[in-house]
Amino acid sequence: DKAEDMKPRPPVVTIMGHVDHGKTSLLDAIRKANVVSGEAGGITQHIGAYQVEQDGHTITFIDTPGHAAFTAMRARGAQATDIAILVVAADDSVMPQTIESINHAKAAGVPIIVAINKIDKPEADAQKVRTELLQHEVFVESMGGEVQDVEVSAIKGLNLDRLLEAIVLQAEILELKANPDRTAEGVVIEAKLDRGRGPVATVLVQAGTLKPGDILVAGNEWGRVRALVNERGQQLKDAAPSTPVEVLGLQGTPQAGDRFAVVENEAQAREISEYRQRLAREKAVARQAGQRGSLEQM
């Protein structure tokens, strides 16, 4: 892509942190507080990702069980996240999965924003969290570092705006861009077989613009896009970079972390997916043979 084709795109944010520190509560609180006006009556369905507006800036949140999705995608080499929100409960402070999350974000080169959660609790100690984070080389601003930290309460809805502002600021530093005027590609966030609608994949468009009628290959599967649906159940005419969207029309169910790309025609799509399915079968057979081989050697 030429530099002049690159256009600003929203940040894609994942939430990480120790069990029960409030990841789901925080995502739910942000989503509830930011229902776009006029759409409040819409049925919000869970599609594993959603977008909110903050002072005219769009932010994309991936809300599949953050940690698992992030790890699975990284294992598959699919970098889907621009910014990681590290949720640390102020009454529990830094715990093993907090440290794991820090290591994941650092390994992926993804900047962290710390959300010190549960500050409504009497036993909350935000300063202890900041001090313990120092030991893991997360230096928050008030400790002379560059990592933004925001004290929040997901339950009371405290300081959610400040957290969104921190994300917007971090995104501006990153100068995130993508070319919307090319064939679409991106990553599968989650996928399922829906009884009524058939295979449904929630994808994140990372470059190009996805449209109904496009033919795409996602992992080992392919299909012609029958409809693009957002988290409010609305059908979209197109999905630009950083837009999460449900894709209907796939022939099968791809896996979280699979990459997808739009191709020229059905013949090409079929050829690629048949080739990949054959490779997958051969790998499975080889694996079984390997297991038999090592058993025979015992």
Q: Which residues 6+ apart lie within 8 Å of 33 measured at CB?
A: 157, 160
Cβ distance to ligand GTP smaller for residue 9 or 118:
118
Q: How far is the CB of 227 from ligand GTP (least distance, A)?
A: 30
Contact footprint for ligand GTP (CB under 6 A): 17, 19-25, 117-118, 120-121, 153-155
Provide the token pair at 1: 């892509």
Among 14, 67, 81, 82, the one annotated catalytic: 67
Among 1, 5, 7, 20, the one annotated catalytic: 20
202 is in an annotated binding site: no
**Residue 39 interacting with Na ion (CB under 5 A):** no
Annotated catalytic residue 23: yes
Contact residue for Mg ion among 15, 22, 24, 204 (CB under 5 A): 24
Q: How far is the CB of 20 from Na ion (least distance, A)?
A: 4
Cβ distance to Na ion smaller for residue 21 or 130:
21
Stretch that binds Na ion, among 16-24, 73-81, 169-177, 279-287 (CB under 5 A): 16-24
**Residue 20 interacting with Na ion (CB under 5 A):** yes
Provide the token pair at 213: 């009628």
119 is in an annotated binding site: yes
The three state secondary structure string of the chain is CCHHHCEECCCEEEEEECCCCCHHHHHHHHHHHCCCCCCCCCCCCCCCEEEEEECCEEEEEECCCHHHHHHHHHHCCCCCCCEEEEEEECCCCCCHHHHHHHHHHHHHCCCEEEEEECCCCCCCCHHHHHHHHHCCCCCEHHHCCCECEEECECCCCECHHHHHHHHHHHHHHHCCEECCCCCCEEEEEEEEEECCCEEEEEEEEEECCECCCCEEEECCEEEEEEEEECCCCCECCCECCCCEEEEEEECCCCCCCCEEEEECCHHHHHHHHHHHHHHHHHHHHHHHHHHHHHHHHC
**Residue 54 interacting with Mg ion (CB under 5 A):** no
Q: How far is the CB of 69 from ligand GTP (least distance, A)?
A: 12
Q: How far is the CB of 29 from Mg ion (least distance, A)?
A: 12
When CB distances are held under 5 to 8 angstroms depending on the partner's kind, the choice from ligand GTP, Na ion, Mg ion, none that residue 21 binds is ligand GTP
Cβ distance to Na ion smaller for residue 31 or 270:
31
118 is in an annotated binding site: yes
Stretch that binds Na ion, among 13-21, 73-81, 154-162, 268-276 (CB under 5 A): 13-21
Rounded Cα gap, residues 178 and 6, in angstroms: 5
Stretch that binds Mg ion, among 16-24, 147-155, 217-225, 245-253 (CB under 5 A): 16-24
Q: How many residues line the site for Na ion (CB under 5 A)?
A: 1
57 is in an annotated binding site: no
Contact 198, 250 (CB under 8 A): yes
237 is in an annotated binding site: no
Annotated binding-site residues read 17-24, 63-67, 117-120
Residues that are catalytic: 20, 23-24, 67
